[in-house]
Amino acid sequence: MKKNRLFIGVLILISLSAQAQMSGKKQLSQVHRTSINDPFWSPKFELWQRTIANDVLDKFEGKHLKSSVEQKKNNVFENFDKIAAGKKAVAGTQVYHGLTA
């Protein structure tokens, strides 16, 4: 993941440098659509699309916990309903509070 961020950062800097030399201005280019199809990254992206997003959502709902009482108590998505009703949002651990409330 760090390599991916570094790679993207380098690409942005190269793009900015090229644009600055041509136009005298510095601005980010707009990327509307990208595609990565190679034997290294494609399997990783597929895995992330299939599992990681669902895993995060399951944890927000408390589905990773064994008992239904714990699941109900740690369903941080219910915080939105509580806040909308004017109540204090308390579901989940403090880790989730900044992410959902």
Task: Give the pLDDT confidence of 58-78 residue by residue, as tens digits.
Answer: 888 888 888 888 888 878 888
Mean pLDDT computed over 32-50: 86
Higher pLDDT, 52 or 7: 52
pLDDT at 72: 82
Domain boundaries, the chain: 45-101
**Position 19 pLDDT exceeds 90:** no
Of 17-21, 37-41, 49-53, the poorest mean pLDDT is in 17-21
CA–CA separation, 83 and 80 (whole Å): 5
Torsion of CA 72, 74, 78, 84, to 10 degrees: 130
